């Protein structure tokens, strides 16, 4: 099970968004009781925008321009670590440690996030899946606001094609809040299995920081790019399937499964980094 907390938990941040929430994350809607997962997400950004040009018009440096200390800073890189566990057949909890290196500061912890996911419609093979989720992010780095998030995860499988859409509303809370209204973040994925266990796809992420003052497209953050997926999973051969009643041995080794995806994101607006290399790895047990 590949997760997220996107949110929907696309709990998300993007290249210049508040780094208290996870970056480049797309969560699947499936929940399985007793299943645990450790996940790592990392991203490195290139061609980062850094505020407006200075008075001298010097924009020849790496990020260009001037950035005020009390403004949100884009990230050079991010590294998120998440643990999640299925409490029931439909409900799971997760916690994430969000770390990064803003262009105005050194590498460190940006936030801690706690999230939940509730599966509304279970997808079995082809068809639709739906889940609702939300979370609370504690801003750890000085000056970062706490954030709340809530939204939906939608899936649709047809043949070898899997479509996933995460959409969530975000709000800043606490003394460091800079916006009064809700923001909106999204992420979608189209993934096609080329050969068993290997797939290619397209992912897109975006965020509107304040829906009441969304501004023009160029002042928002949107990116898109290709991704490669590796998911070992179980073969369809019934002889290889694990049967709990027959094959379970008390005290025996715990079955583990590793999967990953790697991709590139290309910025579509001036407020988004020109490009970003992203990686996601999951260990399920």
In CATH, what number is assigned to the domain containing residue 236? 2.40.160.40
The residues near 96 (Cβ < 8 Å, ≥ 6 apart) are 5, 11, 22, 80, 81, 82, 83, 112, 113, 114, 115
Residue 244: pLDDT over 60: no
Residue 69: pLDDT over 70: no
pTM as predicted: 0.81
* Cα 23 to Cα 12: distance, rounded to the nearest angstrom: 5
| pLDDT the model gives residue 254 | 64
| pLDDT the model gives residue 58 | 45
Share of the chain above pLDDT 90, in %: 62
Tens-place pLDDT, residues 173-227:
888 888 878 999 999 999 999 999 999 999 999 999 899 888 899 999 999 999 9
* Cα 261 to Cα 79: distance, rounded to the nearest angstrom: 15
129-164 in b/e form (b: 16+ CB < 10 A) is: bbbbbbbbbbbbbeebbbbbbbbbbbbebeeeebbb
Tens-place pLDDT, residues 88-106:
999 999 999 999 998 888 9
Specify the 3-state DSSP secondary structure of 219: helix
Distance linking the first and last C-alpha atoms of the chain = 10
Q: Evaluate whether residue 1 is within a structural domain.
A: no
| pLDDT the model gives residue 253 | 65
Q: How many domains does the chain have?
A: 1
Q: How many CB atoms lie within 10 A of CB 24?
A: 28
Tens-place pLDDT, residues 102-150:
888 899 999 999 999 999 999 998 999 999 999 999 998 877 889 999 9
Tell me the pLDDT band of 250, cut-offs 50, 70 and 90: low
Residue 52: pLDDT over 50: no
Residue 51: pLDDT over 90: no
Q: Evaluate whether residue 96 is within a structural domain.
A: yes
- Domain containing residue 172: 6-284
The residues near 13 (Cβ < 8 Å, ≥ 6 apart) are 19, 20, 21, 22, 23, 75, 78, 98, 207
Distance of CA 173 to the CA centre of its chain: 21
| pLDDT the model gives residue 214 | 87
């Amino acid at each position: 099970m590949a997760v997220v907390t996107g949110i929907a938990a696309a709990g998300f941040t993007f290249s210049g968004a508040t780094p208290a929430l996870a970056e480049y994350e797309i969560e699947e809607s499936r929940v399985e009781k007793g299943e645990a997962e450790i996940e790592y997400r990392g991203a490195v950004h290139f061609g980062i925008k850094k505020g407006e040009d200075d008075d001298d018009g010097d924009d020849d440096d790496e990020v260009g321009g001037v950035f005020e200390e009390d403004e949100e800073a884009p990230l050079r890189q991010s590294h998120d670590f998440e643990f999640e566990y299925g409490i029931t057949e439909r409900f799971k909890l997760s916690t994430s440690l969000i770390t990064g290196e803003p262009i105005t500061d050194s590498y460190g912890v940006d936030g801690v996030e706690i999230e939940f996911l509730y599966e509304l419609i279970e997808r079995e093979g082809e068809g639709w899946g739906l889940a609702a989720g939300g979370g609370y992010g504690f801003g750890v780095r000085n000056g970062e606001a706490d954030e709340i998030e809530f939204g939906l995860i939608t899936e649709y499988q047809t043949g070898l094609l899997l479509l996933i859409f995460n959409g969530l509303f975000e709000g800043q809370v606490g003394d460091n809040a800079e916006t009064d209204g809700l923001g909106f973040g999204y992420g979608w994925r189209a993934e096609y299995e080329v050969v068993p266990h290997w797939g290619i796809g397209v992912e897109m992420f975006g965020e509107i920081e304040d829906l009441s003052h969304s501004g023009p497209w160029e002042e928002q953050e949107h990116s898109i790019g290709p991704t490669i997926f590796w998911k070992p999973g179980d073969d369809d051969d019934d002889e290889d399937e694990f049967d709990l009643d027959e094959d379970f041995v008390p005290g025996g080794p715990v079955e583990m499964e590793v999967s990953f995806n790697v991709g590139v994101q290309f910025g579509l607006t001036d407020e988004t980094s020109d490009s970003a290399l992203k990686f996601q790895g999951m260990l399920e047990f």
